[in-house]
Amino acid sequence: MGWGWGLLLGVLLWTGLAQAADPGAVRFRAEAQVAGDYITLGHLAALPPELAAHWSQAPVWSAPPPGQSYTLTGEFLRYRLSQMGLAELAQAELPPAITVRQTGKVLPPEEVARAIQQYLREHSPYPEKNLRLTVYPLEEAVLLPEGPYSLEVVPPKNHRLLGELTLELALVQEGRPLKRFKAAGRVSLEMEVVCALRPLMPPQVLSPGDVSLMRREVTTLNPQDWFTAPEQVLGRSLARPLGPREILTPRHLSQQPLIQKGEEVTVLLMDGGLEIRTKGVAQEPGYPGTTIRLLNPRSKKEFQAQVVDRKTVRVML
C-alpha cells in the first residue's frame, strides 16, 4: 500500500472521526494475527463498540506474505495513524512493537485449474475430452478471504482458448470481486486425424494401406489443416513427402484433380445394400469428395455424382 493511497483513504473515510476518538479507550495488542491482504486497525487494537463500527476495517499496512510476520514499531504506528487522519488516536498508549503474523490460507492451485477447466467446458468449441490443460504455478500467492468465496475466469478479450494462455481470474465473495490475479498455462487440443502409416513420397496416390486415423495434438493447426476421415484423401496424389505418424494436411496433397474433364469413370449406383456399376463421362474436373456433372454415354443425359477416387464416382439412390 503506497503512502499516497493511505493518506487519501484516511482523508476520505476518517476525516472528522478523529476528534471523536478516545485514546484511553483503545488497547493495542503486542501480537496480532491477520488472515488476508491488509493489517487493519481492528487487528492491532481492541476497540470499543462505537469506535469499532467506524475504524475496525481501516487498513493500516499491507499484511505479511503467507507464513511470515511483520514487526510494526510504536513510532511507525504513531506516524501511520497521524497520516491516516487519526492524530488523537496516535496519542494512545502503544507497545514498543506489535508482531503481526499471517494466518490466511493460500488459494490451492487445484482450484485455479478447476475454474479454468470449467470455463473451457462452457466456452471452448471443442469437447472436453479433446482438451488437455496445464496450469503453471502462480507468480504470487493469493490469500483466501474468511468465509465462502468463488473463483471466476474473466473472459479474455481475444476469446483465444488454445495454446499458451494468460487468463485473469477474480476471487468473488458475496457477489463482489475482492481481488483479481493472472494465471498462465497451456491448453492443448488432441484430435483423431488422418496420419501416414509409413514413409510416403510424391507423386504416390494414397490408398487405404497408406493412412489411418490417429490421436494427435493439433494445437498449432487450423481446423482446415487436418482431415478427420481417410476417405477425404484416398486417391489423391502427394505433393510433399510424409513421415510415419505425420499428420496429413492439404499442403501435402497435389492440387491436380483426380478426374479430368472428358475422362470415362466407373459410376457406383448405391441403393441400400444394392450396388450397380455403370459408366459415365466427366463433364468437369473432379476433386475428392466433391460433386461433379457426368454424362450417361448411352442416354446422353447428365447426372451428378460424388468423386470417390481417381476412377470412381458414387450416386446414392
Tens of pLDDT along 257-296? Answer: 889 999 999 999 998 889 999 999 999 998 877 899 999 9
pLDDT of residue 8: 38
Q: What is the pLDDT of residue 85?
A: 85
**Same structural domain for residues 16 and 88?**
yes
Q: Is residue 212 part of a domain?
A: yes
> Which among 220, 252, 284 is the end of a domain?
252
Confidence bin at 163 (pLDDT 50/70/90): very high
Same domain, 11 and 82: yes
Q: Residue 142: is its pLDDT beyond 70?
A: yes
Are 65 and 120 members of one domain?
no
Task: Judge if 86 and 35 occupy the same domain.
Answer: yes
Does the structure show a pLDDT above 50 at 115? yes
292 located within any domain: yes
pLDDT value of position 23: 62
Please say if the pLDDT value at position 28 is more than 80: yes
Question: If you average pLDDT over residues 233-250, what whole number do you get?
Answer: 92
Residues 58 and 149 in one domain: no
The residue-averaged pLDDT of 154-181 equals 93
Do 89 and 42 lie in one domain? The reply is: yes
Is 14 found in the same domain as 94? yes
Q: Is residue 22 part of a domain?
A: yes
**76 in a structural domain:** yes
Q: Is residue 259 part of a domain?
A: no
Domain boundary among 65, 82, 102: 102
Per cent of the chain over pLDDT 70 is: 92
Residue 257 included in any domain: no
| Residue 286 to residue 258: CA distance in whole angstroms | 6
Among 78, 63, 76, 83, smallest CA distance to 10 is for: 83
pLDDT band at 104 (very low <50, low <70, confident <90, very high): confident
Comparing C-alpha atoms, which of 284, 278, 256, 255 is closest to residue 265? 278
Place of cell 493412412: 211
Q: Which residues of 267-279 are buried (b: 16+ CB within 10 A; e: fewer)?
A: bbeeeeeeeeeee
Give the closest residue to 188 by CA, choosing from 244, 129, 119. Answer: 129
Of the three residues 164, 188, 212, the one that is the final residue of a domain is 188
128 is a domain residue: yes
Q: How many domains does the chain have?
A: 4
The whole domain housing 233 covers: 190-252
